[in-house]
Amino acid sequence: MDGNGRWARQRHLPRVAGHRVGARVVRRVVEECARRGVGHLTLFAFSSENWRRPADEVSVLMELFVRALRDEELRLQEHDVRLSVIGERGALPARLQDAIARVEARTADCRGLHLHVAANYGGQWDIVQAARSLAAAAACGALAPDAIDEAGFAARLALGSAPPVDLLIRTGGELRISNFLLWHLAYAELYFTDTLWPDFDIASLDQALAWYAGRERRFGRTGEQVQAGAAGA
Ligand code: FPP
């Protein structure tokens, strides 16, 4: 969700004004994805590197997350959206940790869209914590090193049993992954748009989904194989 700061600067507003508008866009996009039957949506709200930002911007962002959780709690449940936060949450402010725990518990039985919010998340951190957990299981004899495979590794990542990412959307014009879901993006289709996140609307979402629908997903096979498979299906 890149481009909040630039959106605000273009309007001679403080950067945090862009984050506030960005939070409203989050609500619309989540509701629209839930309405369309998307199974999983992961939003990169705050990376492990974002702590390097000015302290007042970080604290506004944390406050915005607390407020969004409080304001959206009921609405998430009404839309059957299950919320999970991924990332190293122990470093987040206690108030935010409490709000996260409350909304996660309240929406745990929701079976519509599963919304994952990445907060203090880094793809490298995720891979390391999964490796650490596998190493601990191996060290105490609960797991044979030879038994470690891709599926077992993925299950220990923060997204757990969520499927691999089909489509990554990055707004704001940068052509980078920025330490997002490194493992899960292995075969994702990557969609980059110059639209700044506060300007990302339902039409922008439609454009991204239409682009995705036109992609041929080969997963290592040839185009002829994929087409023959589709014709036989
Ligand atoms: C990146 O834009 C955006 C962020 C680091 C924060 C994202 C947060 C929100 C959209 C607000 C609320 C989110 C939730 C889940 C309630 P940037 O600041 O790097 O923009 P720039 O590249 O233009 O400076």
Active site residue 2: yes
Query: 3-state DSSP call for residue 216?
Result: coil
Which protein residue has the closest C-alpha to ligand 1 atom 19? 2
The identity of residue 133, as a single letter, is S
What are the chain's domains?
4-232 (3.40.1180.10)
Determine the pLDDT at residue 230: 82
pLDDT tens, position by position, 81-100: 999 999 999 999 999 999 99
Average pLDDT over residues 29-51: 97
Catalytic residue among 50, 166, 199, 201: 50
pLDDT of the residue at 233: 63
Query: How many angstroms is it from 115 CA to the middle of ligand 1?
Result: 17
Quote the ligand 1 centre to 228 CA distance (angstroms): 43
The angle at the Cα of 167, spanning 108 to 16, to the nearest 5 degrees, equals 70
For the segment 48-64, what is each residue's pLDDT rounded down to a tens digit?
Answer: 999 999 999 999 999 99
Cβ of 17 below 6 Å from ligand 1: no
Tokens of 7: 């959106």
Q: Report the separation in Å between the CA atom of 166 and the middle of ligand 1, taken as the mean of its atom positions.
A: 22
Structure tokens at 192: 């980059």
* Cβ 96 under 6 angstroms from ligand 1: no
